[in-house]
Structure 1
């Protein structure tokens, strides 16, 4: 029955550790900024998962101790802030830590070669089109596999303004998108 019950002392330690780690997390998030839990890049996602792992380990087990958990959190936040700073100040570093966004649909046509490179299936893309409330693929100006793994669907209905070309700056194969005239 030890796996179901816990002593009041053990429960108290879990509560104290959880509250302390929560306070440390809030303080570090305030210092590091909102990017701490963003999904701007794969690195951001990895840090978010790592933070969760550290929190779970420290809260639910006596080893590692609380001080080591706080230090682990601090190191993750410092690493994330350092990588974010380097990405802003070095194109080479940004290129080596990020995937580039990739055009996977243009002018209503799936770009299967680019979908294969992004490892996105037709059913994945169709699901994202449905999530974006696309009623007809001809409405889709572009779909982009983003650096985070998300898919952005840029679509319009009759009379809507065309896609601003600047939205595709830095996107692999952006030249395959051809602006279409506004239809009344």
Structure 2
């Protein structure tokens, strides 16, 4: 069925507009982290926010106040968990993936590729996307906790201090 009546659309429009404004306000209050590149934990929260918003918009049995409470609760829990994870590394390690060294001194780390379920082709694509065409000129490629690749050339490596939180970084000479 395409259309029942205008009276069915009015609550969706009113609740939708209200929920949208309140979602923007709650996300703004939650801070920049809720809008940053997503790690697995942030991705789950984002999907859940979308689900709550959709349910609030389309399910007449869910009041706007209930939907906003659910949104605020989820963002509040994310705020608390991220605040705790900043203070306690064990919590951070439990909710976020650590970076992974995929290439060290031009040599592909095949075991790490396998553990991360990546192919050589994907690694080479990341190197090409960085503007490099020669793996031997790459000092390191790191799969970051948000799923992005960091490609560091030999000329950019410097003292390597940015690599200290990357497991197996000792393989980079």
Same fold (TM over 0.5): yes
Q: Which residue of 1 aligns with 2:112?
A: 114
Q: Using a 3 Å threshold, how does the CA distance of structure 1 residues 57 and 131 change in structure 2: closer, same or farther?
A: farther
1:5 paired with 2:6, answer: no
How much has 1:110 moved relative to structure 2? 1.1
Q: Which residue is equivalent to 1:181? A: none
* 1:6 CA drift (Å): 4.3
RMSD of Structure 2 on Structure 1 (CA): 1.7
Q: Is residue 42 from structure 1 mapped to residue 40 from structure 2 by the alignment?
A: yes
**Pairs aligned (count):** 173
Indicate the SS of the match to 1:170: coil
Contact 1:21 1:70 in 2 (8 A): yes
Deviations 1:119-142 (A, max 9, x none): 211122122222222222223211
Q: Which residue of the other structure, out of 165, 170, 173, is the alignment partner of 1:175?
A: 170
Q: 2:85 aligns with which of 87, 94, 104?
A: 87
TM-score, structure 1 as length reference: 0.86
Distance 2:57 2:169 in 1: 47
CA distance in 2, matches of 1:142, 1:75: 40
Equivalent positions of 1:19-58 (< 5 A) are: 19-58=17-56
- Change in 2 beyond 3 A, CA 1:132/1:63: farther
Residue 71 of structure 1 deviates from its aligned partner by 1.1
**Which residue in 2 is equivalent to 1:165?**
160
Q: Tell me which residue corresponds to 2:102.
A: 104
Unaligned runs of 5+ in 2: none
Moved over 6 A (4+): none
Which deviates further from its counterpart, 119-128 or 85-94? 119-128
Alignment gaps of 5+ in structure 1: 179-184
Return the structure number with greater helix share: 2
CA distance in 2 between partners of 1:91 and 1:18 (Å): 39
- Structure 2-normalised TM-score? 0.91
Shift of 1:92: 1.6
Shift in CA distance, 161/122, structure 1 to aligned 2, threshold 3 Å = closer
Question: Aligned-pair distance for 1:97?
Answer: 1.5
Answer whether contact 1:146 1:152 (CA < 8 A) is retained.
Answer: yes
